[in-house]
Chain A
Amino acid sequence: QKEVEQDPGPLSVPEGAIVSLNCTYSNSAFQYFMWYRQYSRKGPELLMYTYSSGNKEDGRFTAQVDKSSKYISLFIRDSQPSDSATYLCAMPPSGGSYIPTFGRGTSLIVHP
């Protein structure tokens, strides 16, 4: 079983929709979770960082962690065409390393 799994999409939504992006993970020891956004041919950009279960909100973005289900989500409210990008979840792997492992990313397309 892969440590971090993410549906590659693409996920296509109309402008203004609420978007839900998800990752599952296998290691119950994971303590912190990150979401990155990556535009085409650019480096990943940190969006959200959470260290515990529950919700964290930043503007139109909400990160949710459910440790009991080993499931994390990123919600985008009032989605805009400029949100079209690949969204990567990241968390440290097992074995004592603190270096985040990235999911393969979900491609999001928000059409006007």
Chain B
Amino acid sequence: EPEVTQTPSHQVTQMGQEVILRCVPISNHLYFYWYRQILGQKVEFLVSFYNNEISEKSEIFDDQFSVERPDGSNFTLKIRSTKLEDSAMYFCASSEAGQNYGYTFGSGTRLTVV
């Protein structure tokens, strides 16, 4: 069964450093998303991406965050200057059709900012 692949599975970084989280969505999917989940809290939407541009973003997705699809397979989330409160699980997801269909999520990257 096709799956969304995320790397690394765990990343530890120092406060103020830049991190790039990587995702390989399912190959025939057109819509891509990043969500995050702070430990013990709910899954929160960050950004959606379609046709090589951001289609929607939440209040969490401020100027510290950016997304990119550098080639035909990868989808990345960059955090420019990490803060302690950025520590969370970051999930990439993709969907084949419109945004109102179910998503396929990756297993996540656990980001720990120290």
Please determine whether A49 and B102 come into contact, CB atoms closer than 8 angstroms: yes
- Contacting B43 at CB < 8 Å: which of A49, A92, A102? A102
CA distance A98 to B56 in the complex (A): 9
Looking at the complex, which one of B56, B103, B108, B110 makes contact with A46 (CB distance below 8 Å)? B103
Q: Is the CB of B99 within 8 A of A98?
A: yes
Question: How many B residues face the partner with a CB closer than 8 A?
Answer: 24
B107: chain A residues at CB < 8 Å are 41-43
Majority-rule SS of A interface residues: loop
Q: How far is the CB of B50 from chain A (nearest CB, A)?
A: 11
Alpha-carbon distance A45/B1, docked complex (angstroms): 13
B19 to chain A, nearest CB (A): 19
- CB pair A104–B100 under 8 Å, yes or no, is no
Q: Which residues of B contact A (CB under 8 A)?
A: 4, 33, 41-45, 48, 56, 89, 91, 93, 98-108, 110
